[in-house]
Amino acid sequence: MSEPRLVHLDLAGLRTALTWAAVEGWNPGLHDAEPFFAADPGGFLGLEIDGRLVVVASVVRWSDAYAFGGLFIADPTHRGEGLGFALMQAALGFAGDRTIGLDAVLEQEPLYARNGAVPASTTTRWRWDPNAATTPVDPDATVDARTVAVADLVEYERGCVVGDRSAFLTAWLAAPSVVARAVVRDGRLVGWGLRRPCVDGAKVGPLFADDPATTDSLWRALVADAEGPVYIDVPDPNPSGRALVAAHGMTPGFTTRRMYFGTPPVLDLDRVVGVTTLELG
**How is the chain split into domains, by residue range?**
5-123, 125-254+267-274
Query: Same topology for domains 5-123 and 125-254+267-274, yes or no?
Result: yes
Residue 158, phi-psi category: left (phi > 0), alpha (psi -120 to 50), beta (remainder) = beta
Q: What is the pLDDT of residues 122-148, one digit of tens each?
A: 999 999 999 755 567 777 799 999 999
> For the chain, what percent of residues have pLDDT higher than 70?
97
For 51-107, write each residue's pLDDT tens digit: 888 899 999 999 999 999 999 888 877 776 777 778 878 878 888 999 999 999 999
What's the confidence (pLDDT) of residue 92?
81
Residue 181 — very low, low, confident or very high, per pLDDT cuts 50/70/90? very high
CATH-assigned architecture of domain 5-123 = 3-Layer(aba) Sandwich (3.40)
How many Å apart are CA 123 and CA 104, to the nearest integer? 10
pLDDT tens for residues 16-55? 999 999 999 999 999 999 999 999 999 999 988 888 888 9
CATH class of 125-254+267-274: alpha beta
Could you tell me which of 276, 280, 258 has the C-alpha nearest to residue 123?
258
Give the type of residue at 71: L
Return the H-helix or E-strand segment holding 152.
helix 150-157
Confidence of residue 242 (pLDDT cuts 50, 70, 90): very high
- Output the pLDDT for position 85: 75
220-257 core/surface letters (b: 16 or more CB in 10 A; e: else): bbbbbebeebbbbbbbeebebbbebbeebebeeeeebb
